[in-house]
Chain A
Amino acid sequence: MSNAADTPSLLSLILFTPLAGALVLLFVGSRQVDLIRWIANATAALGFLVSLPLWFLYDSTNPDWQFVEQMEWIPSIGAQYFLGVDGFSVLLILLTTMMGVIAVLSSWNAIQTRVKEYYIFLLMLQTGMIGAFVALDFLLFFLFWEVMLVPMYFLIGIWGSDNRLYSAIKFFLFTLVGSVIMLLGILAVYFYHQDVTGVYTFDITQFHELNIPYDLQWWIFLAFFLGFAVKVPMFPFHTWLPDAHTDAPTAGSVILAAVLLKMGTYGFIRFSLPILPEATQAFVPAVVLLSIIGIVYGALVAMAQRDWKRLVAYSSVSHMGMVMLGMFALTPVGITGSIVQQLNHGISTGALFLLVGVVYERRHTRMIAEYGGLSKIMPVYAAIFLIMTMSSIGLPTLNGFIGEVLILQGIFVVSKTWAFFAASGIVLGAAYMLWLYQRTMFGTVDNPKNENLPDVSLREFATFAPLLLLAVWIGLYPKPFLDRLETSVDKVMMRVNADYTPRFAVAAEGDADATEGAIAVVESAAGPIRGGAR
């Protein structure tokens, strides 16, 4: 934790920067719309900048929690203000702060009513999401988890489209039911911990060392599962997603897809897997089955959609099924792939929603049939859309491929049958995405309303540029991302598989021939099986 000494409260800084911006906005007159926009954008950008050190300072060889901050919060029940990150959260925080910038920037023209409130909610949401990723105290996590709900509810309910109230309430109730059940699970762990150790605490690091009896694990897993699966969302808990996505404003959809859905998967990997290893193993077949159903089902239903946004929303269901599948392969490759795929999904689906937002802003309709032949009118837009489509369907050299191949390889060694069905998702994915692309971009311009649509503006391009860059980066050279996940994946693996030898232990053991090994890696990169893990 050496880096913690250099940057004593980096996480708090990252956490509260958006909130500070929201507070500043409170004191700005609601008529000064431009000033509000500038402040919101500057805050989001600042939020991203202060989170950047995480990327550089995170020590990927250190298996401990990093940048830890620990303070008492509610001593009487043992709750603490306890922050810290590992590989998973570092990447997800960076995704969050980056998507925050993009979401805020993309709202510049889209939001014209109640601008001030909008940005305040957006920034609050930002803090809530970051908080959930950095919290190492279960109660604190739960707090942030719930904090996210409220701004999102208002974002959908106030600035959404046609059916927004229905969608907002559906989203809220669905998630709330899930989280209430999750809270029961949390309390069960809490009281069990007290039972065993006599200490009342919500400290997750303590929970990670807890050995809960199987029967209790089973029930707690079920409780957690309901909480997280709603958020992911897994089939059959997914129906809030298309509605929420469809009716949310663009930035809301982007955040929802890119970050909020990751809360569920993050919850699984942070809590379900390490705290409840035996139950996790018992639930693997069920979760995998639901994931595979989700993959195929989401893809097929996406194919039937006539609403552009709804199609992308259902593709999210399919992709998140893939993420869950990789995670519950319970192999290091699968889990790594799962996290990478979360990033990928954030990037590509986020971009796809932004893309819908661009045309929605111009035409105020999401019906696919209203479009057609946009390639001719908006060539740059078509090119970006093409790249993101390819990223979404997992074309090699783009990010989606890395995630999919790791996940499928990870699940393949567990069960060939599962992989067999899951891989069919790549066919269906291509089918619905390409059909969408054809229907919107190709053909002639039939609709006279489309004839004079302007191509993407510089500001809009600025929202896509980082996503395009990341898509290619992860596709071509994912090593920096995968390296950062290494120790964290190993820690989870050690919990779910007692026989697993983590790589960092091997590294420490074989310190003497470390340099030798490094050279060997370079020289015989294509050699036969090398002992990456003995």
Chain B
Amino acid sequence: MLEITPLHYSLLSAALFMIGVIGVLVRRNVIIIFMSIELILNAVNINLVALSDQLQDLAGQVFVVFVIAVAAAEAAVGLGIIIAFYRNKETVNIDEIQIMRW
């Protein structure tokens, strides 16, 4: 229990991931949903870094860099969409974004 193994990191990661998922499922504010997604990505990163350290392989860290890059891109585009949407509909409530309804 006192020795910190990758298991611990994985569990931490899983927990954080689940928090993010729940955020995505539960919240209606799109911005907060996006933030939850960032949490999910972070959870993944924790896992990657921990295993990278464990396996003595830099690939994990490299991927973290890429994940961060993708996250940045996602945030930029996503927030752009939100702004554009907000400008038209005056809302960021995800329940009102439902034009794909049947």
Whether the complex brings A and B within 8 Å at their CB atoms is answered no
B residues in contact (CB < 8 Å) with A = none
A residues in contact (CB < 8 Å) with B = none
